[in-house]
Amino acid sequence: MTVSPAAERVTESFIDGEPVRSAATYPNVDPSTGTTLGDVARAGDKEIDQAVAAARRASRAWRVTTPEQRSDLLARLAGLIDDEIETLARLESEDSGKPLSQARNDARVCARYFRFYSHVIESYYGLSIPLRPDLHVYTRREPLGVTGHIVAWNYPMQLFGRAVAPAIAAGNCAVLKPADETPRTAVYLARLAAAAGLPPGVVNVVTGLGPEAGAALAAHPDVDHLSFVGSTEVGSLIAGAAARRVAPVTLELGGKSAHLVFADADVERAATTAANVILQNAGQTCSAGSRLLVDERVHGQVLQRIAERFGAVTIGPGITDPDLGPLVSRKQQDRVRGYVESAKGADIVYGGTVAEPDGISGGAYFNPTLIDGVDPAARIAQEEIFGPVITVTTFGSEEEAVALANGTDYALIGAVWTTDLARAHRVAAQVDGGQIYVNTYGAGGGVELPFGGFRKSGYGREKGVEALDAYTATKTIVVQL
């Protein structure tokens, strides 16, 4: 690898309000070009211990601050994030390869998380339970203490906000391990938290590799709650490490979400939405609609419209703001190519190959890909691809459509496209998933909407008011009158 002219100094962890070096580093690779953006501190057990200890010290005072005080600080941090959108977007675009406009949106959503929870925490109440006239019974929602967060590389800023904002709003102190590939925005956001006035130790970021820093955080005996976003395989390891010390876990894992397009649907809108969703972040979204289940009567129309959309796509480095940037790494590019090559007997309608826009040979690009006639039992229809690839399978009845939608180990989100109101509600109730959309698709939806899955898509809910429940415990108090 060569070093780009924009290479920066070492990205260091941020612990207890200060940057922290590590003895070793690793290179941060720009997936748009294959060049390095600088080095990243390769933290391990020592730095994780330091961060958890800092969070524990800070929690003694932070947990007894008033909701109003926490609200003011989170709102101040949201404002600072808004002020730094361009800087944050550029860092995320370089680290992940995603188009600059998408990175800007991620920064805005990150700010929105902190602003949303700054409001919600002031109206997050316990309950009064009318047990008997001579007893006064009420509940309190109390913070857990130190929360650990291990997040994925596909939406670094959104995942930071999604994890940290509700945790600290509820009175916890957080230690976050960003993905190996995308560490810089997390460190920048931790610095902004300090600038906003959050006390040292409330927000800590430890950079490093998953098997080292991530494993150390997952197994740390003084972490009271873990949240993880990533693969099902790693999620099971995280859950196992937490179970051994009886710590609660929130897991947001893989997805194989489906669009169900019925014959009476607005085909133009359904096809355009399906294409745009899989292009977003190069299909590297756990809730991407990677399976298209289409009524055989409108099958040809849907294929034509998606192929036309893919044919108009611009591809290039994320910083140039194309429709489609690179995948996060050459490793991911090889993974996507392997899945496409495994689709024996299916018809590749569009794409299916590695791309080299403007002759860039060191990037991790892959052309948008549409594959028709996919056996629903095939690997490519059952396993998460995490690339700009849509598989298409037809159905002949509503019952068959529901069976196909529920025919994988995952159950994260889904979409029903129909103008029949009764069918919309009927099918939405039958399709397994944490979020089901009708005649639209949110790829995770807004900050306000509880998000999570069933089966191998994980358990627990993030986002919305429900996230505060995950980061608190209920204490029931009974007073004899």
Nearest to 374 by CA among 365, 383, 366: 383
Q: What is the CATH architecture assignment of 13-253+457-477?
A: 3-Layer(aba) Sandwich (3.40)
Structure tokens at 436: 């089901």
Please tell me the least confidently modeled range out of 151-155, 295-299, 343-347, 350-354.
343-347
Q: How confident is the model at residue 445 (pLDDT cuts 50, 70, 90)?
A: low
Q: How confident is the model at residue 322 (pLDDT cuts 50, 70, 90)?
A: very high
Tell me the percentage of the chain whose pLDDT exceeds 70.
98
User: Per DSSP, what are the bridge partners of residue 135?
Assistant: 480
How much is the mean pLDDT over the chain? 93
Tell me the percentage of the chain whose pLDDT exceeds 90.
89
Q: How confident is the model at residue 370 (pLDDT cuts 50, 70, 90)?
A: very high
Q: What is the pLDDT of residue 410?
A: 94
Q: How confident is the model at residue 443 (pLDDT cuts 50, 70, 90)?
A: low
Q: What is the pLDDT of residue 205?
A: 98
Count other Cβ atoms within 10 Å, centred on residue 25.
Answer: 18
Q: Where are the alpha helices (DSSP H) in 342-475?
A: 379-382, 398-405, 421-430, 466-470
- What value, to the nearest 5°, has the Cα angle with vertex 63 and ends 61 and 66? 95
Contact 230, 60 (CB under 8 A): no
Q: What is the pLDDT of residue 365?
A: 95
Among residues 92, 252, 384, 462, the one annotated as catalytic is 252
Structure tokens at 360: 């860039």
Q: Supply the CATH classification number for the domain 258-446.
A: 3.40.309.10
Q: How confident is the model at residue 392 (pLDDT cuts 50, 70, 90)?
A: very high
Residue whose structure tokens are 């957080």: 174
Q: What is the pLDDT of residue 3?
A: 35
Residue 252 is among the residues annotated as catalytic for this protein? yes
Q: In this predicted model, which residue has the larger pLDDT, 4 or 359?
A: 359
Contacts of 107 (CB under 8 A, 6+ apart): 81, 84, 85, 88, 89, 92, 157
Question: pLDDT digits over 153-207, tens only?
Answer: 999 999 999 999 999 999 999 999 999 999 999 999 999 999 999 999 999 999 9
pTM over 0.75: yes
Alpha-carbon distance of 148 to 173, in angstroms, equals 9
Contact 11, 17 (CB under 8 A): no
DSSP string of 81-141?
A: HHHTHHHHHHHHHHHH---HHHHHHHHHHHHHHHHHHHHHGGG----EE---TTEEEEEEE
Q: What is the pLDDT of residue 2?
A: 35
Residue type, 478: V
Nearest to 205 by CA among 93, 323, 50: 50
- Residue spans of the domains in the chain: they are 13-253+457-477, 258-446
